[in-house]
A and B are shown apart, each in its own frame.
Chain A
């Protein structure tokens, strides 16, 4: 089967640092593929190239067999790639619902519509509320986004990704900064999404990664040193040596 996402020979360097060094990676449909790696391994750089905010120096990115390497960021979302942000980057001045409604509106059609009040369009409103309900934030819909807790912000990030109805979700450290209880909730949430969505998960939380991932790739100094099932990764010598820090 053709992979949903295929990355070949991707290179990106900043000055003398190779943040992405000949990365080859395939993400199959419906799988949850995790990328792990120590700090500074180039995980976020990789995501940024996938969603188009950074241009690779060399290599290709294919999505559904189509070369998207040079397609601008806003068009990639239209093709079905969405991302969540490592550092919460929500619209804090807006109500919670609007954050999600903007995602719905984006996939709905163009938004050069000037007359009708956005909050009165029930098609968009309902879809946004449904996404909020899926992550358990339906009671917070009309609250100001700035008043939500950090954990709720992470949940809202997921709701936004859900509402954009993407085929491929790039989740950049959804567990970052969550307490044990909140992490538990987030893992549960991602488990539900798994199977209905293709997810490329970048995460530091090893418990979460090994509990959720179908396959794991290990990124060290911009290079992928191993890809395999959680069991394979756990027993891979190179990984243990380079990343898990075991002798």
Chain B
């Protein structure tokens, strides 16, 4: 009970800090830190989505960056055509439409690739998810219309009623609100009957099958939910950077997402958020001193994997050695 309330306290503390600090930075004239926070929060949504399958379903997807990329292009391509003509079917600045596209296409992509990927386990699953992501990567590299590997500038951000994404504060709070929603969705799902089956299949798939569960269908559903959520994060990221390129979906980005989840603590709601916060902040800090800023990351990850089974959250909430629920 003690660890549970401590975990909730950590969650509240992190969310409160994310709600209060960035606007203060902006008003204090440090717009840069608001930018940093926006990037952090958007990546956190992607990490939360990966955590649903990695932390609760044991599926180590090494291809989640593809969903980010597809989500971002689902904003960029309609905007591009609305500006330069052609392909009237999708040409639009409408944010609702773009997000519908981002979520819809990533869900379908997750469904199709998931059917194939989930026939495998362990290392093979990692490799095949990565292979699919690389396919998407090279597809966008070869799409000369949208800039190929030079990328595409989004000159008009998604348009929504009431909010204006050109206002950094609006964009930040849309992203922050989305993060809270994503966390609530994952929290609810993982505590539901569906979540029990998902976690059961992570613990012992054969047992769940012998109980009568078609675990493939459950894992596939989780994979689709996770992919769609990550696609949504991609749509936000496109609006944030206003420049999209295949680099967004390189395998290193997939690795970074996995890193955030494991660093913060897989299988908890707030863990991936802590992981992405640390990732973004440390990256910012070290990359201003040295181009070898990946090195401290490597050491950090090694330390976490070797010594902290539940990630950093485990240390903070004192449940490092337990499978706290």
Which A positions have Cβ atoms within 8 angstroms of B?
Answer: 51, 53, 72-78, 82-83, 85, 89-95, 98, 101-103, 105-107, 111-119, 121, 124, 144, 160, 164
Contact = CB atoms under 8 A, between A and B. Distances in A.
A118 B204 contact: no
B164 to A, nearest CB: 33
Contacts of B189: 114
Contact of B211 (A102, A116, A119): A102
Given A75-B212, A77-B211, A117-B192, 8 more contacts: A73-B209, A89-B204, A106-B212, A107-B212, A111-B193, A111-B196, A112-B221, A116-B192
11 contacts: A53-B206, A76-B212, A77-B213, A83-B210, A102-B200, A102-B213, A111-B197, A117-B188, A119-B191, A124-B193, A160-B211
A88 to B, nearest CB: 10
A24 B231 CA distance: 55
A76 B213 CA distance: 10
Contacts of B196: 98, 101-102, 105, 111, 118
Contact of A115 (B188, B215, B218, B322): B188
Interface of B: 188-189, 191-197, 199-200, 203-204, 206-215, 218, 221, 322-323, 325
Contact of B210 (A82, A116, A124): A82
A142 B280 CA distance: 38
Nearest to A94: B203
A72 B217 CA distance: 14
Contacts of A90: 204, 207
Contacts of A112: 194, 218, 221
B59 to A, nearest CB: 16
Nearest to A76: B212
A113 B192 contact: yes
Nearest to B210: A83
B199 A115 contact: no
B212 A74 contact: yes
Contacts of A92: 203
A40 B215 CA distance: 30
A74 B221 contact: no
A91 B204 contact: yes
A114 B323 contact: no
Contact of A74 (B192, B193, B214): B214
Contacts of A51: 210
B172 to A, nearest CB: 29
Contacts of A78: 212
A118 B190 CA distance: 9
Contacts of B212: 74-78, 106-107, 164
Contacts of B195: 114, 118
Contact of A164 (B211, B215, B325): B211
